[in-house]
Amino acid sequence: MSSIAATLDLPESSEVERKSSGAFATFQAAASLLLVAVAHLPFLYVYCKSLLALPQYEYILALPIFAGILVYGRAWRLGSLNRGATGPTVALFLISALLVCVATVFDSPWLGAISGLWAILAGVYAWGGRKLTLAFLPAWIVLWLIVRLPFDSDTRLIQELQSIAARRASILLHNIGQPHILQGNVIETPEKVYAVEEACSGVQSLFAITACTVFFVLWSRMAWWRSLLILVVAWWWVWAANVARVILVTYLNSNFNIPVDTGWMHDALGLGLFGVTLLLIYSSGRFLWFVLPFGILGKRDGIDTEQLAATKAGQDILPTSLPRVTETSLASAWLILLYLSVVCFLLLPQIRVPTATASPTRLESLDANLAIPEAAGWVLVPGSHKREERKRDSQWGAYSQAWRYRKGERELVVSIDYPFMGWHDLGTCYAGGGWALNSREQTPFEPGATADSPAEGTGGTGVILRMQKPAEKDFGIVLFQVFNGRMTPLSPPQSNVFKILAERLSRYRERLLTFGAAGADLNSQTQTFQIQIFLQDHAPFTPQDERDLRQLYTSFRARLAGVLGAGEQFVAAPAGEMP
C-alpha cells in the first residue's frame, strides 16, 4: 500500500491532518482577533473622536507615533520569545472583557477606552510573554495619555489655569505700565477686551507638553525620580510660557495694533511659544543631568545595565523572533467564546440607536426664522439673528446663533451654542467674565413643573443662575440647558457617586428594553449643545420676571425641537401657566 501511495505521490495522512489543524488554528486566531477588535475598537473610535473635538486633546494623534518609536527601540532585539502563559493571559483578557461590559452598562466611552488598553496589553503578553510585555510597557504608558482625568478634573484644571494665568499676567502688565482692568478671566484695556480662554491659559499646551515630556523620559530610559523632576519642570515652564502669551497678546495688540489675538499670527505665536517651552524643558534637563550625573544614586540610574552586560560579555543580541499567533492563546477556543458573548452583550442595546438630529452640521443649517415671534410679553427684535464663529477652544462654544428679544426697555439674548463635550457649566464662563454668583438653582424646565417635581423623560433639568457684577452694579440672570445630539437633555452632574451609578444602571435598562432607542449618549464624552437665555439689568429680578423667562425658554425650546424633528417631549407653555 505504501508503494502505491508513493507511486501516486499522495500525501501521508499525518501531513493532511497537520495542514487541516494548521488551517483550523489560523481560523481560530483570525476569529478571536476579529471579535476582540469588534468589542473594543468602536469604544476607542468614539472616545478618540470626541477627544479630537477638543483642541487641548489634539496631541493624541502623536501618541501612536510615540508608542511605535518606543516599541521599535526596545523590542526589536529580544531574541527568540515564548508565548505567554495561559493563566495570566486569561486574567488579562477577563479584565478587558469585564471593563468593556461595565463600560456598556454605564454608557462610558472613557471606561471603554481603558478596556481597550487592557486588551492591547493582554494581546502583547499572549503573543510574546513576559519579555515582550516588559519591552512594550513604556509604549503602553504613553498610550494611557489618551485617558482624560476622571470626575471632570480636567475641566476644573482648565478653570484654575485660566484664573492663575489672568492674575499673574495682570500683575506683570501693571509692572510694565500697561493700563488695564482684570474682571474674572477677562483683561480689559482701553482699546479691547481679551478673554483668557483655554488656549491662552495653558491647558492646551499643558497636556501636549506633558505627552512630549513623558515620551522623552521614557525614550531616554530615565529613573523614575528623574522623570518626575523633569515633569515638574515642564509644568512650570508651561505656566510661565502661557502667562507670557497673555502678556504678549495684550501688549502687542493694544500698543502696536499687531493682530496676535486672532488668525495666523495667534496660531504662530502659540506654536512659537510651544517650541520655546520644549527647548527650555530640554535645557533644564541638561542642567539637572549636570548637577545630578547619571549613576550618582545607583547603578541602574538611567543606564540599560542588561544590554551593557551583554555587550561586555561579547554576546550578540539577536533580532526578536515571535512565536506564531496560531501557537498562542490568541487562537484558543475559550477566547472566541469569551468575546463572542461580549460582542452579543454589546450589540443588544445598540440595535435601534437613532441618528443625531441636532448635530453641529444640522444646527448650522438653522435660519433666522427659527425663533418664536413673541412669548410672555417678550417680542423678537426684527433682524436680530446673529451667527458667531469663535476659536475652537472657546469656553463659550466654537459656534453660536443668537436672537434678541425686547420687553419695554429691557433686552435679552437667546442663543444656541455648540459644540461641547458632555455637560457644560455656564456658571464658570460667566464667573470668568467678572460676574459674581448669588445663587444657582437646578430646576425642571417644563410647563407646570416645580423644583420638587420630577423632570426625567419630559423637559429635563436645567439651571438658573442669579448673578451680580459689582463693577457695573448690574444684575444678571441666566437660564440654560444642555442637550445631546438627539436633543435629549443632560442632567447636571451628580456629586454622589452612588446616585451616578444608579442613574447609569437605569439608563442601561432603558437602552436594553428599547434596544438602544432611548437612554444613551447622556455621558461626559458625548457631543452636546446648549440653549441659554441671558438678561442683564440695573435692578434685581422679580419672581414674575423669572416665570416669564421660563415661558420664553420653553417656547423657544419647543420650536427648536419641532424644527429638528426631536420628538414631542418638549411642549411650549401657554401664557400664564408657568409656576
CA 89, 92, 98 angle in degrees (round to 5)? 135
Q: Which residue(s) pair with 413 in the sheet?
A: 404, 534
Residue 15 pLDDT class (50, 70, 90 cuts): low
* Contact between 434 and 183 (Cβ < 8 Å): yes
Q: Of 47-51, 276-280, 291-295, which range is least confident?
A: 291-295
Cell 475641566 sits on residue: 155
Residue 32 pLDDT class (50, 70, 90 cuts): very high
Q: What average pLDDT score do residues 168-181 get? A: 88
Find out whether the peptide bond into 419 is cis, omega within 30 degrees of 0: yes
In angstroms, the CA 417 to CA 399 distance is: 6
Give the residue extent of every domain in the chain. Answer: 12-150+320-349, 153-291, 360-564
Q: What is the 3-state secondary structure (H, E, C) of 96-154?
A: HHHHHHHHHHCCCHHHHHHHHHHHHHHHHHHHHHHHHHHHHHHHHHHHHHHCCCCCCHH
Q: Of 214-218, 466-470, 568-572, which range is least confident?
A: 568-572
Instruction: Give the pLDDT confidence score for residue 318 in this predicted structure.
Output: 81
DSSP helix, strand, coil percent of the chain (3-state; round to 5): 55, 15, 30
348: amino acid identity, one letter: L
In angstroms, the CA 416 to CA 529 distance is: 7
Which long-range contacts link 174-180 to residues 24+ away (Cβ below 8 Å)? 176/247, 176/251, 178/250, 178/251, 178/254, 178/255, 180/250
Global pTM reads 0.81
What's the pLDDT tens digit per position in 343-398? Answer: 999 998 888 888 888 888 889 888 888 899 999 999 999 999 999 988 777 778 88
- Looking at per-residue pLDDT, the higher value among 445 and 21 belongs to 445
* Contact between 107 and 136 (Cβ < 8 Å): no
Q: Which helix (H) or strand (E) holds 346?
A: helix 333-347
Q: Which helix (H) or strand (E) holds 468?
A: strand 461-469
360: amino acid identity, one letter: P
Cell 513623558 sits on residue: 214
Residues comprising the chain, all counted? 579
Residue 139 has which C-alpha cell? 509604549
Closest by alpha carbon to 55, among 264, 198, 200, 263? 198
Residue 113 pLDDT class (50, 70, 90 cuts): very high
pLDDT of residue 49 exceeding 70: yes
What DSSP assignment string belongs to 201-223? HTHHHHHHHHHHHHHHHHHTT--
What DSSP assignment string belongs to 514-571? TTTSSS-S-STTSEEEEEEEEEEESSPPPHHHHHHHHHHHHHHHHHHHHHHT--SS--
- Give the three-class secondary structure for 252: helix
Instruction: Give the pLDDT confidence score for residue 451 in this predicted structure.
Output: 41
Q: What average pLDDT score do residues 486-515 get? A: 85
In angstroms, the CA 74 to CA 69 distance is: 9
Residue 577 pLDDT class (50, 70, 90 cuts): very low
* Contact between 421 and 438 (Cβ < 8 Å): no
* Contact between 266 and 392 (Cβ < 8 Å): no
Burial class of residue 29 (count of CB atoms within 10 Å of its CB; 0-12, 13-18, 19+): buried
pLDDT of residue 311 exceeding 60: no
Q: Which helix (H) or strand (E) holds 342?
A: helix 333-347
Q: What is the 3-state secondary structure (H, E, C) of 22-86?
A: HHHHHHHHHHHHHHHHHHHHHHHHHHHHHHHCCHHHHHHHHHHHHHHHHHHHHHCCCCECCCCCH
Residue 457 has which C-alpha cell? 423623560
In angstroms, the CA 33 to CA 322 distance is: 17
Q: Which residue(s) pair with 444 in the sheet?
A: 461
Q: Which residue(s) pair with 573 in the sheet?
A: none
Closest by alpha carbon to 534, among 404, 442, 409, 384? 404
How is residue 510 annotated by DSSP? Answer: H
* Contact between 214 and 139 (Cβ < 8 Å): no
* Contact between 399 and 376 (Cβ < 8 Å): no
How much of the chain, in percent, has pLDDT values that exceed 70?
86
In angstroms, the CA 476 to CA 413 distance is: 12
Q: What average pLDDT score do residues 261-280 get? A: 87
CA 288 to chain centre: 34
Instruction: Give the pLDDT confidence score for residue 21 in this predicted structure.
Output: 66
- Give the three-class secondary structure for 389: strand
Q: Which residue(s) pair with 481 in the sheet?
A: 531
pLDDT of residue 197 exceeding 70: no
In angstroms, the CA 199 to CA 247 distance is: 13
Burial 416-425 (b: 16+ CB within 10 A, else e): bbbbbbbbbb
Q: Which residue(s) pair with 410 in the sheet?
A: 407
- Looking at per-residue pLDDT, the higher value among 308 and 284 belongs to 284
How is residue 387 annotated by DSSP? Answer: E
